[in-house]
Chain A
Amino acid sequence: KAGVTQTPRYLIKTRGQQVTLSCSPISGHRSVSWYQQTPGQGLQFLFEYFSETQRNKGNFPGRFSGRQFSNSRSEMNVSTLELGDSALYLCASSPTQRTLNTEAFFGQGTRLTVV
């Protein structure tokens, strides 16, 4: 069974540009969450999608957005990039949405560097 796949693995962008990151969850999983990991702030929740609907959102500016497709694949977009957006972006998939006891499976992340 394939794991969570995130593409691309590495990305370098210039300030002011926009970027789109992709996440393919484990087959059959319908919930996808995104996290930002930085040395200063640690792991922070961005948003969660289930059945193509955003179910929960973290405390990030509107420049961060996402969507989920009917095949459960998800994309997140960051517009008007800032230097502080440099981070490892991790995607996590879960079989369903409202099961606290279910572990989430994480991808290897996309390392975004803004210069």
Chain B
Amino acid sequence: AQKVTQAQTEISVVEKEDVTLDCVYETRDTTYYLFWYKQPPSGELVFLIRRNSFDEQNEISGRYSWNFQKSTSSFNFTITASQVVDSAVYFCALRVTGNQFYFGTGTSLTVIP
């Protein structure tokens, strides 16, 4: 069975602080993809980043970076120098064969000006 856990329900940071969102996943599949999506108040899920199960290289894309560690089944996401516009709910998701997403319960991020 597939499972994604986001232990942080709510996080508040002051603008310009860095913030890391945690994600732990469970799957027995050897081929899978991990995603982070952002859900602003308007409702749609906005794609942020993805990583496949064979590539543990961590990268930085603008203010976003991620840390993928298969040994601990974690896929953490960091926003550097947070901005008020980053306030949203962030979802970690797992995708295996069958194409559906398995989402975590989300982390609500509030950036205080």
Interface-located stretch among B15-23, B62-70, B99-107:
B99-107
| Interface residue? B58 (CB, 8 A) | no
CB neighbours of B102 from chain A (8 A): 45
Smallest beta-carbon distance A72→chain B, Å? 15
Chain A interface, >50% SS class: strand
Using A108-B42, A109-B43 as known contacts, say yes or no to A100 and B101 having CB atoms under 8 A apart. Answer: no
Q: Which of B31, B35, B45, B100 contacts A45 (CB under 8 A)? A: B100
Query: Would A56 and B50 count as touching, CB distance under 8 A?
Result: no
Using A100-B32, A100-B33, A103-B50 as known contacts, say yes or no to A31 and B99 having CB atoms under 8 A apart. Answer: yes
Query: Would B45 and A106 count as touching, CB distance under 8 A?
Result: yes
| Interface residue? A42 (CB, 8 A) | yes
Interface-located stretch among B71-79, B80-88, B90-98:
B90-98
Q: Which of A4, A35, A100, A106 contacts B95 (CB under 8 A)? A: A100
Smallest beta-carbon distance A41→chain B, Å? 9
Query: Would A55 and B106 count as touching, CB distance under 8 A?
Result: no
| Interface residue? B12 (CB, 8 A) | no
Smallest beta-carbon distance B28→chain A, Å? 15
Query: Would B44 and A103 count as touching, CB distance under 8 A?
Result: no
Q: How far is the CA of A103 from the CA of B31 in the complex (A)?
A: 16
A residues near B (Cβ < 8 Å) are: 3-4, 31, 33, 35, 42-43, 45, 48, 55-56, 58, 88, 90, 92, 94, 97-98, 100-101, 103-109, 111
